[in-house]
Amino acid sequence: MVLRVVRFSVFMILFFSCTPAPEKKESSEETEIPNPQQGYVIPELPDSMFFCGKVIHLIDEDIHEKLDRELLVNTFFQSATVQTIKRSNRYFPIIEPILKKHGIPDDFKYLAVIESNLLQAVSPAGAQGFWQFMPTTAKEYGLLISNEVDERLNIEKSTEAACAYLKLAHGELGSWDLAAASYNRGIGGVRQDMKWQGTDNYFDTHMNAETGRYVYRILAVKLIFEDPEYYGYTIKKEELYEPFQTRSVEVKSSIGNLAEWSLAKGINYKILVKLNPWLLTNKLTLKGNTFHLQLPHASMNLKPYQEYLN
C-alpha cells in the first residue's frame, strides 16, 4: 500500500512538472470571486432607537450584542419575515386603532409579531392566537372559550384583552419595556427578578433566557418593519396582503349548521372560517348572548371558487 502511494506521488510530481502552467489572465478578464453575502445586508445598529416614545441607548456592549443577535436572526429568516411583512399590511390596520383607543403605544403591535408572526398560532403549551393567550389568562380577560368558539382567535377581542393586560402591567411596573417583558415573564416574575438584583429597569436586569431576549426581539422587529429595504426586503406594494373588506352581521339566535347558513349568505364555510377563525365547529349556540360574524363585502375579491368556473 505504501509503495503504491509512493509511485502515485512520483507520477503526480512528474505530471505537473511537465504540464505547462496556464497563462495568467489579464486582470480585466479575471473571474470575479462570488461574494457569499451578495444579495444580503449585514445590518448595522444605530446608537439609539425609540421604543414606546422612550430613547433606548444601544452603545452598551451587552445591549448592542443582544440586539445584534435578534436583528441577525430576524433579518436572515427570509421566508417567515417576508410573509409576516405582507400580513402586517392586512392586520396592523385592525390592531393599531385598538392600541390607540386604550392608550397603548403603537410599538406593541410588534409584540404580536414576535408572539405569532401574525398567524393564529398554537404553542406546545396551549397558548393560541395572535397574542398567544393561555386558556386561564384568556378567560380572566373576558375571552370566551368553549367547544364551539375560541375568542383568542378573534383578532379584535384578543387585542382588546392584550391591551387590558399591558395597561395593568404598565401601572404595576412603571415602564413599557418592563410591561413588554412581563408579557413573557409575568408581572410578579419581573418584579421578583428586579428585587433580588436591586435593579429598576429591564436592561440592567438578568432574566431567564427567553425573557432576556424578549424585548430585544421586539426592538429588532421594529427596526426591520420600519425600514425593510435597508435590511434586504424589497416588497412591492401590490405584493402586500390587502386588508379584508368585510361587513358585520349580528347573530341573535343559534345556528345549527354554519355551512348551510354560509351558503344562504352567498359564501361557503371555508370563507366564513377564514374571516371568523374563532369558530371551531359547524354550529354556533347562543345562550343569552350575541355574536358578530364577518362576511365579505361586495368589493372584496373573495368568493366561492365555483363562481370563477361559471
Residue pLDDT, tens place only, 6-17: 343 433 444 334
Least confident of 15-24, 123-132, 141-150: 15-24
- Top-level class of domain 48-238: mainly alpha
pTM of the model as a whole: 0.84
Q: What is the pLDDT at residue 52?
A: 97
Dihedral sign (CA 97, 99, 100, 101): positive
Q: What is the pLDDT at residue 40?
A: 58
Q: Where are the beta strands (DSSP E) in the chain?
A: 48-51, 54-57, 246-251, 291-296
Residues 176-184 have a mean pLDDT of 98
DSSP state of 131: T
Three-state DSSP class for residue 284: strand
Residue pLDDT, tens place only, 260-302: 999 999 999 999 999 999 999 999 999 888 999 999 987 666 6
Rg of the chain over Cα atoms, rounded to whole angstroms, equals 28
What is d(CA 155, CA 244) in angstroms, rounded to the nearest whole number? 13
Q: What is the pLDDT at residue 14?
A: 40
